[in-house]
Amino acid sequence: MFTSITQRDGQGAEYVTIIAPTFEQVMRRFRDGNLAAQGFSIAGRVMPHHIVFDDGSGKDQVFNGAPMITATFVRSSETRA
Averaged pLDDT score across all residues of the chain: 83
What is the reported pLDDT for 10?
61
Nearest to 35 by CA among 7, 76, 73: 73
Does the global pTM surpass 0.85?
no
Give the domain ranges of the chain. Answer: 3-75
Q: In this predicted structure, what is the pLDDT of residue 36? A: 94
- Residue 59 C-alpha from the chain's centroid: 22
Residue 20 gets which letter from DSSP? E
Tell whether the model's pLDDT for residue 23 goes beyond 60: yes
Distance of alpha carbon 75 from alpha carbon 66, whole angstroms: 29
Residue 58, pLDDT above cutoff 60: yes
Mean pLDDT on 10-35: 90
Residue of higher predicted confidence among 67 and 57: 67
Alpha-carbon gap, residue 12 to 69, rounded angstroms: 26
Q: What is the DSSP letter of 51?
A: -
Report the C-alpha gap between 34 and 36 in whole angstroms.
6
